[in-house]
Structure 1
Amino acid sequence: MKNKSFRLLLMLAALAVFVLAACGTDKKEEPAKDGDSKEGETAKTEDIKFLSLLTGGTQGTYYALGGTFADLITEGTGIKTTAEVSQASAANVTGLDTDKGQIGFLQTDIAYYATEGEFMFEGKKVDSISALGALYPETVQLVTIGKSGIKTYEDLKGKKVSVGAPGSGTYANAEQLLEIHGLTMDDIKAQNLDFGESVDGLQSGQIDAAFITAGTPTGAVEALNATADVYIVPVGEGKADALIEKYPYYAKDTVKEGTYGLKEDIETVSVIAMLAVRNDLPEDVVYNMTKAIYDNAEKISHAKGEFIKAENGLTGIGIPVHPGAQKYFDEVNK
């Protein structure tokens, strides 16, 4: 009996030593890779090996600029950056929030909705993103072709109209412009198409008009102008003021005569294109990204490059600015 008790004590003692040893062992955690970090933590600069820049459809301005921006960021930070095709603004918010991308093109209105939990982000407030900087005006273009007979917003009633890809900023713009003209999505035959699909639909007659929110000239619309008589439907008289009063992130804008072969200026509205980043990117990385873009704006061959200036970098930004970007703009805009 004594031997059994002694053996039992030995076993318990050995077990206690094992447990204490296990508890005292230092745990080794895997470092964040490719820009990933635990929620609420900032990634370490040395652990970031790759960055994804979320753009838009292949025929939009975001994508056209994205390749150049990715090259500038790669050169300026030493971190390989790749431009990725996406469904644009609202989808890019989700992509940033889920870390599918670390940098993304957004419209200023969509960025505001996301961080405030409004409109398409109602009940889904996003607090993981901040602004890198403003870029250029994004013109809301209601595109049709001459033979459609559409000359005003009111003419859209009962027509097949592309209102943008699901989750895009274009959809929000379409809904708000229809509203200010006394229409709703129920008054039209709404089609969820991206820019390229919209152009194909207009060329084939499958749709009658398309909302396209992008910097002008937009590649997709230029392509359409090569085969059809493009017409941009103007915002109704007094409607721009009413829209801006209700949604102050809009501004009056003009598609100039000669663009897409237009024979006169067309009055419309615009929002502002911006770049956003994940909050957990290190300050020095975002500083270098911001510097790489704004210090090298002359290397941007797209027509919208002329608007990308450090002095305008915080214009129209309605969300918090990343500390790295703020540091850059504070330095250059003294």
Structure 2
Amino acid sequence: MPVLTRRRRWVLLVTVVALAIAAVGLVALRGCRAPVCDSVAYPAGGVRISTGGKGGVYEAYGLALRDVLEDDLPGLQVEVENSGGSVDNLSRMANGRVDLAFISADTAFRVPALEQQAGAPGRIRAIARVYDEYVQLVVRSDSSIRSLSDLRGKRVSVGSEGSSVEITAKRLLAAANMNDETDIQRRGYGVSQSADLLADGDLDAFFWVGGLPTTAVAELASTVPIRLLPLDRYVDTLHRQYGSFYQSATVPQGTYTNVPDTRTAAVPSYLLASTTLSADLVFRLTEALFTHRTRIAEVVPSSRVLDVRTAISTASIPLHPGAERYYRSIKP
């Protein structure tokens, strides 16, 4: 066996080290596309996504997004958490408990105050406007309830505490000259529990704000005949008093079993990211969101409407630097 000189041993060692570094680089760059072609640092504890209640669209979207991210970013750990909804999600992000979250646009006004309370100004940023949420006031088809005013004295769920449903329900009842504390038998359930209670006759109506179709409402409609109450007459009031994000919309016939076209209100929803996540990582997260929107749509039909032209419209919440870089990178 030939004896290696000191010089040859040194060259061999340098070569081995160089090959090892290159191998690590290839792993780190798996799926890399310009302008982010350096290794992306993952948070030590992974990425935590705060969604919403059981049976809601936020939950379904969060689970689908987790699968996409874990496939696109090998080695990234993604945890999906249920929550009370939009306001709860904002609080969790402001306090550093989660990294990504879904919210309804009508709760965005709370961002500055929550950041201030948490001592973290500027922590909450947006990735995209992802889809529109529809206000749904659900009753059994044999119910005598035909309008908001018919809810007086009835057992009504206005959504779980800390949800955008609660905010919207309160605003709608006020638009109909009703108080959610005194004019109804107020309940505070999430969509799944509300649907179960309505089916059992232990609830007269419930509010829900979510994408179409919402799993819990669809499952309810498949077993118990339901109706959605028209709410479009109150959109102008909501628009004037609270913001232009409230718009008239229609829940199309066929969304739920035997439920005809129903005019209602809609409000955008946003996917948010904490500034504790690096710009490089959020670039890749945003890229994955758009690259795999068809795959996500297999689970969440609402995600089909995701479009780069409207995604940047996140109102008072600025884009995360990583998301902003992504949108600039795809401009023609």
Q: TM-score, normalised by structure 2?
A: 0.81
CA shift for structure 1 position 262: 4.1
Is 1:310 matched up with 2:327? no
**Structure 2 CA distance, aligned partners of 1:123 and 1:130?**
14
Q: Which residue of 2 aligns with 1:325?
A: 323
Q: Which residue of 2 aligns with 1:165?
A: 160
Is 1:136 matched up with 2:131? yes
Q: Which residue of 1 aligns with 2:23?
A: none
Query: Identical aligned pairs, as a percentage?
Result: 28
Query: Which has the greater radius of gyration?
Result: 1
Does the CA contact (< 8 Å) of 2:125 and 2:272 recur in 1?
yes
Q: Deviations over 1:101-133 (max 9, x none)?
A: 1111111221x222243xxx6984873211111
Q: Which residue of 2 aligns with 1:154?
A: 149
Is 1:251 matched up with 2:238? no
Q: Which residue of 2 aligns with 1:89?
A: 86
| Structure 1 moving runs of 4+ over 4 Å | 121-126
Does the CA contact (< 8 Å) of 1:164 and 1:193 recur in 2?
yes
Alignment partner of 2:266 out of 261, 264, 270: 270
Is 1:204 matched up with 2:206? no
CA shift for structure 1 position 46: 5.1
What are the within-5 Å matches in structure 2 for residues 5-16 of structure 1?
Answer: none
Does the CA contact (< 8 Å) of 1:56 and 1:89 recur in 2?
yes
Q: Deviations over 1:279-321 (max 9, x none)?
A: 1211101111110111211111121121122222113432111
- Of the structure 1 ranges 123-132 and 298-307, higher mean CA displacement relative to structure 2 is found in 123-132
CA shift for structure 1 position 47: 4.7
**Structure 1 CA distance, aligned partners of 2:44 and 2:161?**
31
Q: Which residue of 2 aligns with 1:105?
A: 102
Structure 2: tracts of 5 or more residues without a match:
1-39
Is 1:285 matched up with 2:281? yes
**Structure 2 CA distance, aligned partners of 1:309 and 1:116?**
27
Does the CA contact (< 8 Å) of 2:249 and 2:266 recur in 1?
yes
Name the CA shift for 1:252/1:281 in 2 (closer, same or farther; >3 Å): same
Aligned residue for 1:135, secondary structure, equals: strand
Q: Deviations over 1:232-276 (max 9, x none)?
A: 011153x21121111222111111122213453111111111111
Does the CA contact (< 8 Å) of 2:130 and 2:268 recur in 1?
yes
CA shift for structure 1 position 153: 0.6
Name the CA shift for 1:164/1:258 in 2 (closer, same or farther; >3 Å): same
**Structure 1 CA distance, aligned partners of 2:100 and 2:305?**
20
Aligned length in residues: 286
**Structure 2 CA distance, aligned partners of 1:205 and 1:192?**
16
**Structure 2 CA distance, aligned partners of 1:236 and 1:270?**
9
Q: Deviations over 1:122-165 (max 9, x none)?
A: 98487321111110000010111112211101101111100011
